Chains A and B, each alone.
Chain A
Amino acid sequence: MLSARTLIDFYVDGFRSMKLGRTLWKIILLKLLVFLTVLNLFFPDYLNSHFSTDQQRADHVLHQLTHLPSGK
């Protein structure tokens, strides 16, 4: 049976023995940081940030569908 210690060691040793992997992890973490910052600042969920209940969101979309004269 695989013990938790063995499993942790597997990952710890794996990360320690990385060479190129260290650079890649730095890129991944930097990317996630930039993405999350940009996404949180500039990409709010429009319906979640403007309405508090699902019914309000549904009513808003239904209003758009029945009143917005949009086209192509």
Chain B
Amino acid sequence: MLEHLDISQLSWARGQFALTAMYHWIFVPLTLGLSFLLAFFETLYVRTGNEQWKTITKFWMKLFGINFAIGVATGIIMEFEFGTNWSNYSWMVGDIFGAPLAAEGLFAFFLETTFFAVMFFGWNRVSKGFHLLSTWLVAIGSNLSALWILVANGWMQHPVGMVFNPDKARFEMENFWDVLLSPVAVSHFVHTTSSAFLLAALFVVTVCSWYLLKGRHVVMAKKSLAVAATFGLIASAFVGFTGDESAYTAAQVQPMKLAAMEGLWDGEVNADLVAVGIVNPGKKPGDNMDPFQLDIKLPYLLSLLANREFNSFVPGVNDLVYGNAEHGVVGAGEKIAQGKQAIAFLAAYKQAKDAGNTEAAQLALQQFDQVKEHIGYGYLTKAEDIVPPVPLVFYSFHVMVALGTLFPLVFAAVLFFLYKGTLQQQKWFLRAGVLSVFFGYMASQAGWIVAEVGRQPWAIQGLLPVGVARTQLTTTTVQMTFFMFLIIFTTLLIAEVRIMTRQIQNGPEGE
């Protein structure tokens, strides 16, 4: 079947979406995290009356404003891409995503026209209390705005609360609360926002480390660091807990993703967690190649992570592809056969309905309902098609976890040196601190690669592969827009870095 598919167009369309999403995600986490830091700084100003906190708030608010201005509207592009490159998908999920995306749009509009304006224009023009309230509402509202996007993403990873309407070829929402409170959506939201808080705290560490190295704005830098490192330390704990929950939900609803994250090819009881490893890039399902060239494992911890039990079974790539009767794992081959039946019944339903044969249409619909659970598998050619790129997912996951383990140590060290009063003397630490935001971005982007590449080949888990989700366009069209966006986004990033670094060099006003 794959001979009919223009793989290169699909790859370019996927690459384009990845490009726009990853560039968009440079700006968004900083907005989400800095907004709360602003609220903390301003709260300290209002509570203590110390003008230094006001100076600090206004300085970080300026950097927040730059990031917001450069990043605003970069997400719109993805919505347009849905309609152009992914029209089948866009049509099918319109009913599910309509409500969350409309809510997101409303939140963003009201926030930006009211409370953003008060936050930036309202110093000395509205009361301190109202200004503070506006800053808090911007922080809460921005993060709630992210909730709706992450709910939509969570639904794609774990489609619940809906029913497929064969007449409209659409998934229709049956239960809003199931969609909103899906365990995948909740863990995605908390994990993603807490990682954004962490990244913003690292941004403050970067800027303040530079100031301390240069001996400039020392008081402001130390005060900012005290708040940001505390926030970062708390956020790190949340990232850890919610990361564990994300892995657990992946094990329950996306076991192939977890297997790829851990490079687990053959399922095990008492499965070990790979702490460090170099995977064999040529390994394929069903072969006898050793999965790793080198690995260090932590005994039993993968079973604990996946099922909350040490002696439980964790399926590997091969179990999910070929099945494992002993542990009750149904192979992809069986699901593909069932999926093909579902597609055939759907076609029969459509044909009978068009012919006005109500009885035959009803019968086909009943048969479709019995096997529709795995309809997406029916579009795959072979069982091995369900395997995502294991090395990319494995390394992204391990880079994310390694950096996520390092960051709380950085925040703890900042607080320790601040407490001891020796931070400015720790030149080696401050030099490393300047680099911290880049590592934060690396971890953040790696997290998205795990989430999105790890669920391939699915646009909607188990129901719609990316090959069917897309529009039949020419490769050239998608290539052209890919490079166009690459240039636009790179220009925006350069603008952000230049304006931001200039403001950082200028430092806070009136200090």
Q: Which A residues have a C-beta under 8 Å from some C-beta of B? A: 10-11, 13-15, 17, 20-21, 23-25, 27-28, 31-32, 34-35, 38-39, 42-48, 54, 57-59, 61-62, 64-72
Q: Which of B457-496 contact A (CB under 8 A)?
A: 457, 465-468, 471, 473, 477, 480-481, 484-485, 488, 492, 495
List the one stretch of B165-173, B251-259, B317-325 in contact with chain A: B165-173
Q: Which residues of A sit under 8 angstroms from B481, Cβ to Cβ?
A: 38, 42-43
B302 to chain A, nearest CB (A): 27
Query: What are 12 A-B contacts defined by CB distance under 8 Å?
Result: A13-B121, A15-B121, A21-B65, A35-B73, A35-B76, A39-B77, A46-B83, A54-B168, A62-B346, A68-B4, A69-B5, A71-B381
Is the CB–CB distance between A70 and B1 below 8 Å?
yes
Q: How far is the CA of A15 from the CA of B468 in the complex (A)?
A: 48
* Contact of B457 with A72 in the complex, beta carbons under 8 Å: yes
Among A20, A38, A67, which residue has its beta carbon within 8 angstroms of that of B66?
A: A20
A interface secondary structure, majority = helix
Instruction: Contact check, B385 vs A10: say whether CB atoms are below 8 A apart.
Output: no
User: Closest 10 CB pairs between A and B?
Assistant: A14-B121, A45-B83, A24-B69, A70-B467, A66-B347, A46-B87, A69-B1, A61-B169, A72-B457, A43-B80
Partner of A62, one of B83, B166, B467, B492: B166
Closest A residue, CB atoms, query B375: A65
What is the CA–CA distance of A45 and B66 in the complex, to the nearest angstrom? Answer: 32
Q: Is A65's CB under 8 angstroms from B69's CB?
A: no
Of A23, A24, A71, chain B has the most CB atoms within 10 Å of the CB of A71
Q: Which of B87-111 contact A (CB under 8 A)?
A: 87-88, 90-92
Chain A proximity of B497: nearest CB distance (Å): 13
Q: Which residues of A contact B65 (CB under 8 A)?
A: 20-21, 24
- Distance (Å) between the CB of A31 and the closest chain B CB? 6
- Does chain A have a CB within 8 A of B125? yes
Q: Are A23 and B499 in contact (CB under 8 A)?
A: yes
| Residue pair A65, B488 in contact (C-beta under 8 Å) | no
Whole-angstrom distance between the Cβ of A37 and the nearest chain B Cβ: 11
Chain A residues with CB under 8 A of B77: 35, 39
Bound state CA distance, A14 and B402, in angstroms?
Answer: 45
Indicate if the CB atoms of B346 and A65 lie closer than 8 Å: yes
- B83 with A72: CB separation less than 8 A: no
- B350 close to A62 (CB less than 8 A): yes
Q: With an 8 A cutoff between CB atoms, is B117 at the interface? A: yes
Asked whether A28 and B72 contact (CB < 8 A) given A14-B121, A68-B468, the answer is: yes
The 8 A CB mask of B378-422 against A (1 = contact, 0 = none) is 011100010000000000000000000000000000000000000
* Interface majority SS (helix, strand, loop, mixed), chain B: helix
Residue A61 contacts which of B5, B81, B91 (CB distance < 8 angstroms)? B91
Contacts from B to A (Cβ < 8 Å)? 1-2, 4-5, 62, 65-66, 69-70, 72-73, 76-77, 80-81, 83-84, 87-88, 90-92, 117, 120-122, 125, 166-170, 343, 346-347, 350, 379-381, 385, 456-457, 465-468, 471, 473, 477, 480-481, 484-485, 488, 492, 495, 499, 503
Complex contact B170–A71 (CB within 8 A): no
Across the interface, do B121 and A58 meet the contact criterion of CB distance under 8 Å?
A: no
Question: For residue B82, which residue of chain A has the nearest CB?
Answer: A45
CA of A44 to CA of B125, assembled, Å? 45
Shortest CB-to-CB span from A16 to chain B, Å, is 10
Complex Cα gap A42–B481 (Å): 7
Q: A14-B121, A45-B84, A58-B167 are in contact. List 15 more A-B contacts (CB 8 A).
A: A10-B125, A20-B499, A24-B65, A24-B70, A31-B73, A32-B73, A35-B488, A44-B84, A45-B83, A46-B87, A46-B471, A58-B169, A61-B169, A69-B1, A69-B379
CA distance A66 to B117 in the complex (A): 51
Residue in B70, B83, B480 whose Cβ sees the most chain A Cβ within 10 Å: B83
Highest count of chain A CB atoms <10 Å: which of B65, B88, B346: B88
Complex Cα distance, B436 from A34, in Å, reads 33
If the complex has contacts A46-B83, A65-B169, A72-B465, are A20 and B480 also in contact, measured as CB distance less than 8 A?
no
| Complex interface: chain A residues within 8 A of B76 (CB) | 35, 39
Question: Which residues on B sit within 8 Å (CB–CB) of A21?
Answer: 65, 120
With a CB–CB cut-off of 8 A, which chain B residues contact A35?
73, 76-77, 488
Structural contact, B121 and A61, CB atoms closer than 8 A: no
Contact between A61 and B66, CB atoms less than 8 A apart: no
Distance between B78 CB and nearest chain A CB, rounded to angstroms: 11
Chain B min CB distance to A70 (Å):
4
